[in-house]
Amino acid sequence: MSMIGGRLARTVGLAALLCAIATVAAADDGRGLRRAGDPNRVSLSGLSSGAAMAVQYAVAHSGSVEAVGAVAGPQWGCADGSLSRAVNACLCGRSALTPTIDTAHRLAADGAIDSLVSGRPQALSRSWVFQSPADETVTVGSGRADAAFLTAFIGAAASLDEGNAADGSSRAGHGIITPDGGAACAADDREADFVRRCGAEDNVGKMFHSLFGAGAPYDPSQRAPQVPESEVWAFDQQSLIDRVKAGSPALANDHLNPVWLWSPDKSTRRRNFDMAPTGSIYVPPACRAAGSACRVHVALHGCKQDARQFALNAGYNEWAERYRTIIVYPAIALGTPVSAAVCRLPALDGVVDAAWIEPNPNGCWDWWGYLDAASDRGRHLTKQAPQIRVLTGIIAAVSASAAD
């Protein structure tokens, strides 16, 4: 073998070894959620109903959440426990929206959400909102109202991004934009998978820069290549759901329908608060060593979305290393979705709010109160909301070390 051939063989061998090491490093380490994340650097964001839940959680736990982002989400507290109002007003803009800041202040005064100091949160200080003016599922007015609410609640202006005409992101429709997205912004099926591609536009990159960039210039080149599926690991969500079901205060009001009648709250899905048994987590290499104390960011998928595909494709993982951030993807169980975009359907009337009608076919997070009984209307906005309690358990687990 020639000297050049020998060197080439050694180079190829070394490359294969490094590849093998990287593959081993990427394998699920079996630690689940326990990552010793920094409990003082917790943030959330989401798409659509996930955006609504991210803001609900951040408002309810404003003493421990530092930042929140929302992509195509409705105004906080807009639905007031009514599905018909959620659709007609909050999503489709068929009736006027009113400010909801007084509701948040009342809940804080009542102790239903974290207390405020001089009317302001003790930790929550930054917010970012993306809203495409061409969104056919959440009207641009509702997105702007959400940004106005966050500005009023936090006492610092929310960063509002409505895209731009140059790459078509102002016409993105309802979805999250990433350079690796599927359908282009102008595609006819742009509402199909809710992950859009509009040139180099990058919702998560701009959101993380706004929330964590500390004034440094935005540099899209710091985005990592797309993370392989093998590096996005599953975690057991069912045990945390069960802990909430067995905890205090009890959730007795969630199952009050007469035993001789079938209803959605008799199903396994409803008894799990419509949540799936597993979620996903991405731990970037910088956060895998003991003592890394990385940020914790909870990313929530939208209605009709496959939670696993959201975890793989929404664009969070590619920014995790840059900001030393563990990304956690809790999951809602898929339902039987309504095929059409909601605002293309006829307006809903109040009868859809009856308890015997399945209130969550599209697999949404509970942003309008579908888990609330008549006796606890409005609970979905508080720290006692079942899904919020599960998310609290998830965040606590990610902040725990393997030895805890």
For the stretch 64-107, pLDDT in tens is: 999 999 999 999 999 988 888 999 999 999 988 999 999 999 99
DSSP 89: I
Tens-place pLDDT, residues 380-397: 999 999 999 999 999 999
User: What values do phi and psi take at 151, rounded to 5?
Assistant: -60, -45
Q: Which of 388, 370, 315 lies closest to 62 in space, CA to CA? A: 388
Q: Stretch 30-49: mean pLDDT, rounded?
A: 96
What does the mean pLDDT of the chain come to? 86
Q: Which of 156, 136, 153 lies closest to 72 in space, CA to CA? A: 136
Tens-place pLDDT, residues 262-289: 455 567 888 899 999 999 999 999 999 9
Specify the pLDDT at position 186. Answer: 67
Question: How long, in residues, is the chain?
Answer: 404
Cα separation, 364 vs 345, whole angstroms: 17
Cis (ω within 30 of 0) for the bond into 225? no
Q: Can you read off the two tokens belonging to residue 107?
A: 């809940």
Cα separation, 380 vs 57, whole angstroms: 10
Percent above pLDDT 70 for the chain: 82
Bridge partners of 275, per DSSP, are 332
Asked whether the beta carbons of 327 and 33 are under 8 A apart, the reply is no
In the predicted structure, residue 22 carries a pLDDT above the cut 60: no
Asked whether the beta carbons of 180 and 135 are under 8 A apart, the reply is no
3-state secondary structure of 130: strand
In the predicted structure, residue 308 carries a pLDDT above the cut 50: yes
Q: If residue 296 lies in a helix (H) or strand (E), which one and from where to where?
A: strand 295-300
Q: pLDDT band for position 48 (50/70/90)?
A: very high
Q: Is 404 exposed, middle or buried (0-12, 13-18, 19+ CB in 10 A)?
A: exposed
Listed in sequence order, the DSSP H helices in 61-156 are: 83-85, 101-110, 140-154
Q: If residue 239 lies in a helix (H) or strand (E), which one and from where to where?
A: helix 238-246
